[in-house]
Amino acid sequence: MADPSSAPVGPSRPLALRLLIAFGYFWWEFLIGDTPELFMGGVAAVGVVAALCIDHRVRMAVGFLFPVLVATLLTSSVWMAVRKGR
Amino acid sequence: RGWRSAFEGAATALVLLASLVTALGPALVHYVPLSVLRLVVGGLLLVFGLQWLRKAVLRAAGLKAKHDEDAIFAREVEALSQSPVGKKRDSTGFVVAFKGVFLEGLEVVVIVLTLGVASHNLGLAAAAAGAAVAVVGVVGLIVARQLSAVPENTLKMGVGLMLVSFGTFWSGEGVGVRWPGSDLAIPVLVAFYGIVTWALVVTVRRALAPTGAGGMAWSEPGAPAAEPMGEPMGEVRG
């Protein structure tokens, strides 16, 4: 779990601002961390599914597409890590 | 450093966490539309679960070193032993205990709130979390030594699969997806993502194998080196 006390906050700033920065740092690390592609890809996948669901006729078919999009996202992220490791 | 300050820090964190659940849960249920709740909490679970699953896949495939909890614990004890201890209350002990319990407990709070709010049964989710803490505590006391032999990465992979599956299901419901079989789609999603995860581990291991044992692996700071590529897939099959 991300530690807000390790947020990059200078001691000279007001306490309220430091707490706000630490809070934002915590959520940044929690949601994005070192895998921004997972957050952006997840939002994009949900966005695509939401757009398709505007048409009521395809709402059940989208139930098969959504997991495929998520699996593709996971696979892409893993292969990005593999390439970085080379 | 003394038990009193550590217990006080842990107790303070637990009270704060319980207050968060009590304050946020009912407010979310009463004032926020269900579809919005499902979309947001489902999205959070999905992203959180994908992070866990990705790390578990990389560890199982040998690209990332597994945690050595014993070494990490020994290092933390060494570091804490070197700072001075307060006479009445030890602020370092209090803060470390508070931080540890609060940050780790926050993960439980997030899961309890997301599960409870999305299913409109916060009380049941909170009770289940409490029961899990009690069961794990009792089981841990009885079989602590045997439990330490359970592969941590396998547990994390299982948790990641559940989070991604529930996240997919609820965020889909939030945007209007009509899941075939309704709630029965959840175990199907778990099975599907399980197969994908297994295939990823196998494929990555094969892709890394020709470059030599552990040649492509990178370690987290302070962690032991990754396992050689020739290791059997004990954790994947388990």
Is this structure's pTM higher than 0.95? no
For residue B89, the model assigns a pLDDT of 65
Residue A32 to chain B, least CA–CA distance (Å): 8
Residues 6+ apart with CB under 8 A from B57: A74, A78, B157, B197, B200, B201, B204
For residue B217, the model assigns a pLDDT of 46
For residue A29, the model assigns a pLDDT of 83
> Measuring CA to CA, which residue among A44, A77, A12, A58 is closest to residue B49?
A77
- What percentage of chain A has pLDDT greater than the value 90? 49
- Chain A residues 44-73 within an 8 A CB cutoff of chain B: 46, 49-50, 53, 59-60, 62-64, 66-67, 70-71, 73
For residue B67, the model assigns a pLDDT of 57
Chain A CB contacts of B46 below 8 Å: 42, 46, 70
Distance, in Å, from the CA atom of B118 to the CA atom of B122, rounded to the nearest integer, reads: 9
- Give kind and range of the element (H or E) at residue A35: none
What ipTM, to 2 d.p.? 0.81
Structure tokens at A86: 């080379």
What mean pLDDT do residues A60-66 have?
93
